A = this chain, B = another copy of it.
Amino acid sequence: MNEQKFCYKYPHPSVTTDCVIFGFDGVRIKVLLIERGVEPYKGKWALPGGFMKIDESADECARRELEEETGLKAASVEQFHTFTDVNRDPRERVITIAYYALVKLSEVHGGDDASKAQWFSEEDIPSLAFDHDRILRMALNRLKERICFEPIGFELLPEVFTMPELQNLYEAILGVKFDRRNFYNKMLKLGILTEAEQRLATTPRRTPTKYRFNAEKYAELKQKGFRLEF
């Protein structure tokens, strides 16, 4: 039975969303990929994504997928580009609205399809299905641009984090090394960090000071214009 029930005067493309899900393990930026179980590109790794339903917006679609993959709801999900090359999908004309999401790895407890999903470090990413290599590269560039102007790094870190962790994150994303003292000064001067309770860890070295991101201070700061620079 051929159920081609939805008919139009002109051909319509299919619309999907794909999501580049970023995490941070304290040292490296991670990206969540899914191994495809069906053709085309069966067995290849790909970005999580899927078809947009006719009664949901692309944002809703992207959030739905994010939740399905990571179990997370309230994370930061941002549309960044729509890919429309005519032959990007071998089956039919498909355009994809691409998003990136920033998630706290510490809060991700395996998605439903954990068996087929895996976190990759930036440098270990295999060649991907469709044009997902290109999508991923553009997402990384956006992430780099954006982190210079908005403190999105805090979306990737646990609620409570240390200054060295924060510095590692910036260095991992931007691919550069900063002077520790200068980084401390700059971050503290921004005034968007609050010291958190000191917790004693059992490591063979000095316990670093814990901070949390102060969203109220950040909102104030944003009002009157500011910039984060590196």
Contacts and interface: CB of A to CB of B under 8 A. Distances in A.
A211 to B, nearest CB: 28
A4 B4 contact: no
A175 B14 CA distance: 41
A6 B15 contact: no
B6 A58 contact: no
A97 B57 CA distance: 13
Interface in A73-106: 79, 81-82, 84-86, 93, 95, 97
Contacts of A52: 13, 84
Contacts of A93: 54
Interface in A92-149: 93, 95, 97
A11 interface: yes
For this chain, the copies found in one complex come to: 2
Nearest to A61: B84
Contacts of A97: 82, 84, 95
14 contacts: A5-B9, A6-B8, A8-B8, A8-B12, A12-B15, A15-B15, A15-B95, A56-B86, A57-B86, A59-B84, A79-B82, A82-B82, A82-B97, A95-B97
Given A15-B15, A79-B81, 13 more contacts: A4-B7, A4-B9, A5-B8, A6-B7, A6-B9, A6-B11, A12-B12, A12-B14, A12-B15, A55-B86, A56-B86, A57-B84, A82-B97
